[in-house]
């Protein structure tokens, strides 16, 4: 066990040399093998990220002008808001998490991705599923269940695309050269396994063969809790546990605490989600609240690990942009989890239930925690995988501040306003309309937050698409160089071939 622990720490620790990040367009074979699948996953994800924030902004504008397009059924609030949420979750968060998981498996297992075409196909399929699903919601074919709005056609495509990706990731996990497991492995393997189970359960029992009555709501809460809290926590924390030692230069503190956090998270987190006071038999909300209070244990464990790993830092090398993103993501994880736990306590829930406090918590979890962690991870790994530096590193730094300000301006007004709204709703002497009107300034402030988030997302997408473009341009250049290479000089062509081999066989075959 001790031997194991040592080697575990080494994988994520400082002793592993950071792969060289060449500006020459060459990447080491492990990174290079992931280039195309990652670009396919992240490219589509960036597109949905921007689209989702545009939709969110449109929904928010309704609080300034309820009449804004009143004649267009596609743009009514209920549809646009659902589409915005799903575009962020299914469009960005899940494919980004899967891409990062693929890269981490390859890095930790020291084995290049085999059969890169399969994840590429799966990624395209996934983004097609999101397209079908979003079109379904906007055209009025939503299923009516929160976080499961995609109509049947969309969710079937998503399910099989996920299955394909997860199976491929698991096969590469099984084929790893470095056999010892690192804590990130547990979290990511669990996340890979989690989604098909909960997604198929929810779709079968709510959409395909719907159960009767309030059981639908119970299964809906179970699904949403498991997807939004557990899946995102597994994928996000798993990623953070890989990067924390990289940034601090000190191994993860510690292996056993991480194991403890993992176990308690999947034991308690899975039971969260049923609100106190729900119109269901009393044992369900009681059990769920109990589990939610216990969820404070894994949250504290993760906080301790992050604190000790970062404080044990021995070298103070520049931590840069990715570190800022991941640190902010971890802080948001702690805060959003505490908000979730508070909302499960009957006394607090009496005030916060049915208010904007709930959406504030969800946004902090989805964007503040998960999306920010993914931004950090992608900014770190993409230059290594593609083999080029970020085209606009300054914009990446700017995105951190813009997105941070956006999250604060989105979540803080909604949370404060939600508490005020809840206290007004709890006092029946205050008319409902007054409680709603008191919320409007907060909602209007949050529009600024959404605007900043849109700007931040656009900068992310810009960097990503520019990088894809630079890489494609280099491919064309290489191909052109190969085609125009003089044939009568065998020695030159041989050296070219050797260069190709060193580059990891990228850039097309040289045929003489």
Q: Examine residue 287 and tell whether it contacts another protein (CB under 8 A).
A: yes
Q: Examine residue 145 and tell whether it contacts another protein (CB under 8 A).
A: yes
Scanning residues 208 to 227, which ones bind another protein (CB under 8 A)?
Answer: 210-219, 221-222, 226
Pick between residue 68 and residue 401 the one whose CB is nearest to another protein.
68
Least distance to another protein, CB of residue 166, Å: 13
Least distance to another protein, CB of residue 165, Å: 17
Report the alpha-carbon distance of residue 121 to residue 130 in Å, rounded.
14
Pick between residue 194 and residue 471 the one whose CB is nearest to another protein.
194
Name the token pair of 157: 């495509």
Only segment of 58-66, 321-329, 404-412, 459-467 that touches another protein (CB under 8 A): 58-66
Q: Examine residue 266 and tell whether it contacts another protein (CB under 8 A).
A: yes
Only segment of 25-33, 275-283, 292-300, 388-396 that touches another protein (CB under 8 A): 275-283
Give the count of alpha carbons within 13 A of 356, CB side only: 25
Report the alpha-carbon distance of residue 254 to residue 277 in Å, rounded.
39
- Residue 128: C-alpha distances to residues 54, 124, 125, 134 (Å): 19, 6, 5, 10
Handedness of CA 232, 40, 148, 168 (dihedral sign): negative
- Among residues 113, 132, 165, 284, the one that binds another protein under rule CB under 8 A: 284
- Among residues 57, 163, 171, 280, the one that binds another protein under rule CB under 8 A: 280
Scanning residues 423 to 452, which ones bind another protein (CB under 8 A)?
Answer: 425-428, 432-433, 436-437, 439-440
Name the token pair of 246: 């990289």
DSSP 442-477: HHHHHHHHHHHHHHHHHHHHHHHHHHHHHHHHHHHH
Only segment of 203-211, 237-245, 316-324, 334-342 that touches another protein (CB under 8 A): 203-211
Pick between residue 211 and residue 476 the one whose CB is nearest to another protein.
211
Furthest-apart CA atoms within the chain: distance in Å:
93
For residue 212, the Cα-to-chain-centroid distance in whole angstroms is 33
Handedness of CA 328, 229, 157, 52 (dihedral sign): negative
Report the alpha-carbon distance of residue 198 to residue 223 in Å, rounded.
6
Q: Examine residue 12 and tell whether it contacts another protein (CB under 8 A).
A: no
Query: Radius of gyration (Cα) for the chain, nearest Å?
Result: 24
Only segment of 70-78, 116-124, 369-377, 477-485 that touches another protein (CB under 8 A): 70-78
Name the token pair of 109: 């297992």
Least distance to another protein, CB of residue 373, Å: 21
Site string for another protein, 308-347 (x = CB under 8 A): ----------------------------------------
Scanning residues 119 to 138, which ones bind another protein (CB under 8 A)?
Answer: 137
Only segment of 121-129, 277-285, 381-389, 499-507 that touches another protein (CB under 8 A): 277-285
Scanning residues 72 to 101, which ones bind another protein (CB under 8 A)?
Answer: 72-73, 76-79, 81-82
Least distance to another protein, CB of residue 293, Å: 16
For residue 417, the Cα-to-chain-centroid distance in whole angstroms is 27
Least distance to another protein, CB of residue 357, Å: 10
Report residue 178: phi and psi, to 5°: -85, 105
Q: Examine residue 508 and tell whether it contacts another protein (CB under 8 A).
A: no
- Among residues 254, 270, 474, 493, the one that binds another protein under rule CB under 8 A: 270
- Among residues 33, 60, 239, 288, the one that binds another protein under rule CB under 8 A: 288
Least distance to another protein, CB of residue 343, Å: 11
Cβ-count burial 32-48 (b if 16+ within 10 Å, e if not): bbbbbbbbbbbbbbbbb
Pick between residue 320 and residue 359 the one whose CB is nearest to another protein.
359
Q: Is 69 helix (H, G, I), strand (E, B) or coil?
A: coil
Pick between residue 159 and residue 263 the one whose CB is nearest to another protein.
263
Report the alpha-carbon distance of residue 61 to residue 218 in Å, rounded.
32
Scanning residues 163 to 202, which ones bind another protein (CB under 8 A)?
Answer: 173-174, 180-181, 185-186, 189-190, 193-194, 197-198, 201
Say if residues 84 and 150 touch (Cβ distance below 8 Å): no
Say if residues 125 and 167 touch (Cβ distance below 8 Å): no
Q: Examine residue 364 and tell whether it contacts another protein (CB under 8 A).
A: no
Which candidate, 241, 447, 419, 263, places its Cα nearest to that of 333? 241
Least distance to another protein, CB of residue 116, Å: 22
Residue pointed to by tokens 């979750």: 89
- CA torsion angle 88 90 96 99 (round to 10): -170
């Amino acid at each position: 066990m001790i031997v194991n622990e040592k080697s575990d720490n080494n994988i994520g620790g400082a002793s592993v040399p950071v792969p060289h990040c060449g500006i020459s367009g060459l990447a080491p074979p492990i990174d290079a093998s992931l280039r195309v699948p990652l670009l396919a996953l992240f490219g589509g994800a960036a597109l949905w990220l921007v689209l989702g924030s545009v939709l969110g902004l449109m929904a928010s504008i309704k609080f300034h002008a309820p009449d804004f397009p009143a004649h267009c059924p596609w743009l009514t609030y209920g549809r646009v808001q659902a589409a915005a949420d799903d575009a962020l979750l299914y469009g960005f968060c899940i494919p980004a998490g899967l891409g990062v998981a693929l890269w981490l498996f390859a890095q930790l297992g020291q084995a290049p991705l085999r059969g890169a075409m399969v994840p590429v196909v799966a990624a395209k399929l996934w983004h097609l599923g999101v397209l079908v699903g979003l079109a379904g919601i906007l055209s009025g074919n939503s299923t009516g269940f929160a976080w499961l709005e995609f109509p049947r056609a969309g969710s079937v495509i998503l399910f099989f695309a996920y299955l394909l990706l997860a199976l491929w990731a698991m096969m590469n996990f099984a084929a790893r050269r470095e056999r010892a497991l690192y804590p990130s492995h547990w979290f990511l393997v669990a996340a890979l396994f989690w989604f098909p189970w909960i997604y198929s359960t929810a779709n079968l029992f709510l959409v395909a063969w719907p159960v009767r009555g309030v059981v639908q709501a119970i299964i809906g809460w179970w699904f949403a809790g498991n997807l939004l809290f557990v899946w995102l926590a597994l994928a996000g924390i798993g990623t953070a546990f890989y990067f924390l030692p990289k940034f601090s230069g000190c191994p993860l503190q510690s292996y056993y605490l991480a194991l403890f956090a993992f176990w308690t998270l999947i034991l308690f987190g899975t039971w969260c989600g049923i609100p106190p006071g729900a119109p269901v038999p009393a044992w369900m909300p009681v059990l769920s609240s109990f589990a939610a209070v216990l969820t404070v244990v894994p949250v504290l464990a993760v906080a301790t690990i992050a604190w000790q790993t970062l404080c044990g830092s021995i070298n103070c090398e520049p931590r840069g942009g990715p570190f800022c993103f991941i640190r902010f993501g971890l802080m948001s994880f702690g805060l959003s989890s505490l908000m979730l736990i508070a909302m499960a306590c009957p006394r607090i829930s009496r005030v916060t239930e049915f208010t904007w406090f709930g959406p504030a918590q969800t946004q902090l979890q989805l964007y503040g925690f998960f999306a920010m962690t993914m931004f950090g991870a992608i900014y770190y790994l993409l230059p290594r995988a593609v083999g080029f530096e970020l085209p606009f590193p300054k914009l990446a730094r700017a995105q951190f501040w813009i997105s941070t300000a956006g999250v604060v301006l989105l979540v803080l007004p909604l949370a404060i306003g939600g508490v005020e709204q809840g206290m007004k709703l709890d006092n029946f002497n205050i008319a409902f309309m007054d409680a709603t009107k008191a919320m409007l300034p907060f909602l209007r402030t949050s529009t600024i937050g959404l605007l900043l988030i849109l700007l931040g997302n656009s900068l992310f997408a810009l960097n990503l698409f520019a990088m894809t473009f630079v890489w494609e341009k280099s491919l064309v250049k290489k191909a052109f160089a190969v085609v125009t290479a003089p044939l009568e000089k065998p020695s030159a062509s041989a050296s070219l071939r050797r260069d190709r081999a060193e580059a990891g066989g990228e850039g097309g075959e040289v045929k003489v």
